[in-house]
Every structure is written in structure tokens, then in C-alpha cells.
Amino acid sequence: MRQMLLSRRVVIAGLLLTVGGSSVATSWASPAVGKATEIRGDVRRKQADKDDPLAVGGQIFENDRVHTGTQSFATLNLGTDTRVLLGAETELLVDSFIAGQGGTLELGLGRMVFDRPEGLPKVDVAVRTAFGMIGVRGTKFFCGPSKTAFAVFVEHGSVSVEGAGVTRVVAAGEGVEFGKPGDAPTEPVNWGQARIAEAYASVGL
């Protein structure tokens, strides 16, 4: 009888542990911060040790890396109002993002467009690159290779671009360049329509 009671207690304890463990695991799971809304070509998402194809509707979580292949493009919606468009052979780390507040993205390779419509409340977003840091306050801008340099161009709003201890504020219609990692950004200059169109075409726009 005593053995039966002990066995029953062990089973009940095991069930409680399983239920409790399941509850903890659910509370640790982070919610999605966005999803893929357009995929063209070979686009993959790396989550921890998993590397899978990313399809339209696929969710994006913090610490996900999204990589586009040759002649491939992706559009990610972060939160409800922010789009990130990735060009070919681009790698983006979604370090953190909270809808309505902002977060941090890291552009490892390639080029991207950050797009948040005008008139919405501003959010604080930082984009890390090998060339410098881009501080965003609700805007639309391109960053990536352009002509022979890594460049940042702003369509509307403004961004701060920092590198080598130098910070430039880039306004609408202006762009800056980096010759190589470790260089300071150049003085902002107005871009012509041909260069703007070429930059946007590189992300599929």
C-alpha cells in the first residue's frame, strides 16, 4: 500500500513538473516582431541553429537572420507600420524590435530600404553596419553599395550617420558615403534621380 502511494505521488509530481515546465517554456517564448510579405527567389531565415526557407507569411522573431540569394528580394513588415526591403545577396539581423517603439537591426551584407510612412509617431531605430551606425526616427532611407561606395540616402525625414567619431545629419534628398570601413561619412550632398532610381532598383523597387 505504501509503495502504491509513493508511486502515485511520483506520478503526480511528474505531471505537475511537466505542466509547470510547459508554462515556463511558453512564457519564455518571444512573440513575433514581424512577417515576410513579399519573397522573390531564394530567401532564408536562420533561427538559432535552424536555417530554413522563408516564405510569404513567415514570421520574424528577434535574433532572426534573413538572407537573400542571387537575384532574390524580400520585404519584411516589422510591427504594423514599418517595412524593410532587402536586395539580392543581403543579410539582415533583426536584433530587437518593438512595435511603436523601435529597435536595432544589423546589416551584415548587401543593401536595404527602411520605410515608415510620414505622419506616423516617430520610433527609435538603430541600424548597425560595418561602416557605421545609422540612427532613425521614422523615415524612408536606403543604405548599401551605390556606385563605388557604401552609401546612405534619405527620401523623407532625416537620419544621423556616425562613423570614425564623426556624425552627419542627412536630410531628405541627401546622401553620404563611406570609402571603406573605419572612414568617416562624407558631407551630405543631394542625389540625382538616376542614382536614386538605381539604388531603389537594387532592392526590387
CA 10 to chain CA centroid, Å, is 47
Mean pLDDT, residues 2-30: 41
Closest residue by Cα to residue 201 from 158, 144, 127 = 144
Report the relative pairing of strands 102-109 and 124-128 from DSSP bridges: parallel
Check: CB of residue 175 under 8 Å from CB of residue 152. Answer: yes
Compute, in degrees rounded to 10, the torsion defined by CA atoms 98, 99, 103, 109.
110
Give per-residue pLDDT as tens, 34-84: 999 999 999 999 998 899 999 999 999 999 999 999 999 999 999 989 999
Give per-residue pLDDT as tens, 99-133: 888 899 999 999 999 999 888 888 899 999 999 99
Per DSSP, what are the bridge partners of residue 36? 76
Give per-residue pLDDT as tens, 67-78: 999 999 999 999
Please, which pLDDT band fits residue 24 given cuts at 50, 70 and 90? very low
At the top level of CATH, the class of 31-201 is: mainly beta
Q: CA 54 → CA 83, 85, 120, 181, distances in Å? A: 16, 14, 29, 30
**End-to-end Cα spacing for the chain:** 75
Reduced to 3 states, what is the DSSP secondary structure of residue 182? Answer: coil
Q: Which residue has the higher pLDDT, 3 or 109?
A: 109
Is residue 12 predicted with pLDDT exceeding 70? no
Q: Which residue has the higher pLDDT, 23 or 165?
A: 165
Q: CA 101 → CA 78, 109, 117, 148, 156, distances in Å? A: 11, 25, 15, 34, 19
**Lookup: cell for 77:** 513588415
- Give me the residue spans of the domains in the chain: 1-30, 31-201
Give per-residue pLDDT as tens, 156-177: 999 999 999 999 999 999 999 9
Helix or strand run (H / E) with residue 132: none
Please, which pLDDT band fits residue 29 given cuts at 50, 70 and 90? low
